[in-house]
Amino acid sequence: MAAVVLGPTNTYQTMRGSNAFKNVTENGGGNKQKIKGRSSKLLARRNECMTDRYYYYGAYTEKRYDAIIEQLSIEFFLSPVTVPDIIQNQMDYLQELKKQKISVYHFQQKWPHLKW
């Protein structure tokens, strides 16, 4: 319940700041703060796309490992040191791609904005 006071015209008015106090006391400590920063969903999607590109370059082009890493670092605006770390964390997904022998057509349908 908001604090009310009798105003100059003998009507009840809500006291300034009472709603903020009400929110803190009734919601168990206030409004939940929105987490700022990087979206884990978007990072997971980026990593999936990067792993698809890594598989594509390794399976369907004649690029060397270092050239693939350099290309991915350019495409995804990441350091050449960061790219192998991400690929390593995606190893289960990469093994699944290898096992299924995914075609270029699959990647073209999944990521139509990229040139395959």
**Is residue 115 included in any domain, yes or no?**
no
51, exposed or middle or buried, with CB in 10 Å at 0-12, 13-18, 19+? buried
Number of domains the chain contains: 2
Residue 38: pLDDT band (50, 70, 90) is confident
Q: Which domain holds residue 17?
A: 1-31
Mark whether 69 and 18 lie in a shared domain: no
- 3-state class of 38 per DSSP? coil
Which tokens belong to 11? 């009507």
> Is this model's pTM higher than 0.95 or not?
no
Q: DSSP letter at 34?
A: P
Query: pLDDT tens digits, residue range 51-66?
Result: 999 999 999 999 999 9
Instruction: Report if residue 116 sits inside a domain.
Output: no
Distance CA 80, CA 10 (A): 71
Shared-domain flag, residues 25 and 70: no
Q: Is residue 50 part of a domain?
A: yes
84 and 51 part of one domain? yes
Cβ contact 30:46 at 8 Å: no
Tell me how many degrees the CA angle 52-58-59 measures, rounded to the nearest 5: 85
Which DSSP state fits 31? P
44 in the same domain as 19: no
